[in-house]
Amino acid sequence: MARAMAKYRTVVNSLSVLTLVLLLLLWLAPALRATPESKYTYYGKVPERLWRYDYTASTDWRLGYVGNVYYGAGPASAFLLAVGAIEDATQIEVYSLTNKSPLFKGTLNKFEKHYMLLPNGTVFKVVSSKPVNVLLLNQQYLPNATVGPVPHAFYPAVDGTYVGKLFIILASSDLNPWYTIFALEEAEVKIVREDSVEEQTFKLKPNEYRRVLLRAWYMYIIESSGYITVQCGDPHSYWDTHESYAIPSANGGFIGTDFFSYSNTQWDPMEDLGFRVLALEESTIKVYDLERGGAVMHELKVLAQGSVRFQAQTQAIRVSSDKPVQLLLLHEGDTTKMAGRQVTRENAYGAGIVFFTVPGGLKALLYLPINASNEAIIFASEPTTITIDDLVSVKLGADEYYVLTQPGLHTIISEKNVLVQLNHWPKQPEFQGLWVSGTVIPALETAGVKHEITVPPVGASANNTLFYVAGGIAAVAIVAVLLLRKRKKLK
């Protein structure tokens, strides 16, 4: 009898422990569901045609030396992939999806970097256990100097969105102040280099901006009391080549109603270059001159499923819309120019490696420049169905991607988050290549995270909360012929 009672007590105790474990799991379930992403994925492709031909009336299209003058740029055989860690114990893996082979596996601590050269045409994937900086740069050697290529892009904050109060970024720059801090609300900003040798502090009111110099190959902590956004590069003047980039909205994603960007005081009205607004719904757009106290430069109407382009002759702009839109700076391929002729270059060259994310379930627009050769690559990190122009539905598995080449405006919607890379370069001459300084790649998993911020007029306050997108926007179908090339599943 005693033995039976002991066995009974053992069973009861076991059931009690099991009950406690089950209750604990139920209590922890909400917290477990709210755990941040444990994997961050960054995809990209190194362009295949790494060169730029220049034209002059005396030499025609040239690449290389004529006498002691070098025309054009390149050719090059590789780009530099730069990864910078923002937290300790960050596990990094880099894969070549082209060769289906691992390229690097290791652990980086805060401020540590890993650099590697990737050959032309390489499709790659970077996977990290925590958010990192991933830069794709036009450099054919590992960093060994105090300057680097200037990426034309915005940097994500530590939470993966494009607005925040804390940024930790890997800088790449020459000795000019290429970085711009825009204030979405009143902000006291502090910038500290990783070794604490350099420190800057300044105050900004809403809609104000500050241009700063950050030195190449250092990590910088940018901390602010209010919400800010961080840009590198600009459209350049008519004397220079032009690099395209996507402009995130003030909510931290690429679809929204308020946008900030550096501009330029020297535009050539004949050049095939400008800021381009993409709208799913009929929208009214206002462009504000931030250099001159917020004066309205343009007021534009955009039709549903439409697009409009403008130039802004000022240092910095704010673009506001009454409906959600997208905004890019695009050179669209035609190399005609009117002003700024130089001895070595009489054509207006422009190209781009443009990255942006599209949250799952949210319809967006994709614009491929009309006068350019295009390669729009849509990457998926998990199985999903993508619908293009409400006509074509395609299934992608993990690490699969599609390529669109048809110029013009397209709609895109995916069940899951996707990352889009748009490579474009002038269509003429047919042997032209893609030559830009570089860009910053966002993590695919953070596409659906954004901030709800109302950007105030000067002197007002902003309200904000953090939330995840869930749902989509209805839109009218757009009829278009697509050139689609499905890629095999890559590992």
Of 235 and 215, the structure prediction assigns the larger pLDDT to: 215
The alpha helices in 382-455, defined as continuous H runs, are none
Task: Check pLDDT > 90 for residue 241.
Answer: no
CA distance 249 to 372: 26
Residue 225 DSSP code: E
Return mean pLDDT, the chain: 86
**Least confident range of 61-70, 112-121, 214-223, 324-333:** 61-70
Q: Mean of the pLDDT values across residues 348-367?
A: 96
CA distance 347 to 332: 13
Beta bridge partners of 128: 40, 92
CA distance 424 to 405: 9
Coil, helix or strand at residue 11: helix
CA distance 420 to 418: 7
Task: Check pLDDT > 50 for residue 472.
Answer: no
Neighbours of 489 (CB within 10 A): 12
Of 457 and 336, the structure prediction assigns the larger pLDDT to: 336
Residues 383 and 371: beta-carbon distance below 8 Å: no
Confidence of residue 67 (pLDDT cuts 50, 70, 90): confident
Confidence of residue 31 (pLDDT cuts 50, 70, 90): very low
Confidence of residue 345 (pLDDT cuts 50, 70, 90): low
Q: Mean of the pLDDT values across residues 89-110?
A: 97
Q: What percent of the chain has pLDDT over 90?
A: 72
Give the angle 464-467-468 at the CA atoms, nearest 5°.
150
| N residues, the chain | 491
Beta bridge partners of 258: 320
Of 473 and 38, the structure prediction assigns the larger pLDDT to: 38
Task: Check pLDDT > 90 for residue 339.
Answer: no
Confidence of residue 475 (pLDDT cuts 50, 70, 90): very low
pLDDT in tens, 268-278: 888 999 999 99
Task: Please report the pLDDT score of residue 13 as a whole number.
Answer: 53
Tokens in use for 392?
């074509």
Closest C-alpha among 343, 351, 389, 395 to residue 372:
351
Residues 318 and 335: beta-carbon distance below 8 Å: no
Task: Check pLDDT > 90 for residue 215.
Answer: yes
CA distance 109 to 476: 48
Instruction: Report how far apart the first and last C-alpha atoms of the chain are (Å, whole number).
Output: 62
**Least confident range of 7-11, 139-143, 290-294, 367-371:** 7-11
Confidence of residue 101 (pLDDT cuts 50, 70, 90): very high
CA distance 278 to 188: 33
Sequence spans of domains, the chain: 41-486
Task: Check pLDDT > 60 for residue 34.
Answer: no
Tokens in use for 343?
């001895």
pLDDT in tens, 122-172: 999 999 999 999 999 999 999 988 999 999 999 999 999 999 999 999 999
Q: What percent of the chain has pLDDT over 70?
A: 84
Tokens in use for 101?
């082979």
Task: Check pLDDT > 60 for residue 379.
Answer: yes
Task: Check pLDDT > 60 for residue 332.
Answer: yes
Task: Please report the pLDDT score of residue 7 as a whole number.
Answer: 54
pTM of the model as a whole: 0.86
Supply the Cα-derived Rg of the chain in whole angstroms. Answer: 24
Q: Mean of the pLDDT values across residues 55-67?
A: 84
pLDDT in tens, 404-414: 999 999 999 99
Coil, helix or strand at residue 192: strand
Confidence of residue 336 (pLDDT cuts 50, 70, 90): confident
Neighbouring residues of 359: CB distance < 8 A, sequence distance ≥ 6: 253, 417, 447, 448, 469
Residue 488 DSSP code: P
Sign of the four-CA dihedral 475, 480, 486, 490: negative
Burial 340-358 (b: 16+ CB within 10 A, else e): beeeebbbbbbbbbbbbbb
SS (H, E, C) 16-83: HHHHHHHHHHHHHHHHHHCCCCCCEEEEEECCCCCCECEEECCCEEECEEECCEEECECCCCEEEEEE
Task: Please report the pLDDT score of residue 15 as a whole number.
Answer: 45
Task: Please report the pLDDT score of residue 16 as a whole number.
Answer: 54
Task: Please report the pLDDT score of residue 460 as a whole number.
Answer: 40
Residue with tokens 């993508």: 386
CA-to-CA dists, residue 237 to 68, 292, 346, angstroms: 26, 19, 14
Neighbouring residues of 356: CB distance < 8 A, sequence distance ≥ 6: 246, 248, 254, 326, 419, 420, 442
Task: Please report the pLDDT score of residue 18 as a whole number.
Answer: 47
**Least confident range of 252-266, 335-349, 375-389:** 335-349
CA distance 152 to 265: 18
